[in-house]
Amino acid sequence: MRTKTVTRYYCDHCGRGGFKKPSMARHEGVCFSNPNRTCPECEDWGDVAENIKVLEEKGLDALKDHVKGCPACTMSAVIQSNKRGLSHQEAYVRYDDYKEDIDDYRNEKYREESINCGLSHPDS
């Protein structure tokens, strides 16, 4: 009989686990629950703490404006705000449109990129 011990890696922020260290490290960096996350969806993600503040003081729509429409930044602020809220019984924020929004956001970004990187205008 042969036994094999495998190391499993867990995200410090949300507890998600995986067997591959590089992919878990990558996940950790962008994890919605990471207060110092970087955002893989937008270039200027700003400060998560600031995003949470906007969400808690002004609401979901104000937050979306603040993060320039990035659904991933919105979602991370919602999740982290909810996590804090649970300890002092505050209203739970829901962001149900995430899936739709991220699809739109990615399509839009792709479209813009293909325009920006496209062929130069024939008249210029």
- Closest contact distance (angstroms) between CB of 43 and Zn ion is 8
Distance CA 112, CA 94 (A): 29
At its nearest, how many Å lie between Zn ion and the CB of residue 68? 8
Angle at 106 between CA 100 and CA 108, to 5 degrees: 100
User: From the CB of 116, what's the least distance to Zn ion, in Å?
Assistant: 19
* Contact of 48 with 59, CB cutoff 8 Å: no
CA proximity to 40, closest of 93, 99, 109: 109
Distance CA 91, CA 36 (A): 24
**Smaller CB separation from Zn ion, 11 or 60:** 11
Closest separation between CB of residue 124 and Zn ion, Å? 32
d(CA 6, CA 110): 39
- By C-beta, is 11 or 93 nearer to Zn ion? 11
- Taking the least distance from each CB to Zn ion, the nearer of 40 and 59 is 40
Closer residue to Zn ion in complex, CB, 13/64:
13
Contact 80, 34 (CB under 8 A): no
Binding-site ranges for Zn ion (CB under 5 A): 11, 13-14, 16, 31, 39, 41-42, 45, 70, 72-73
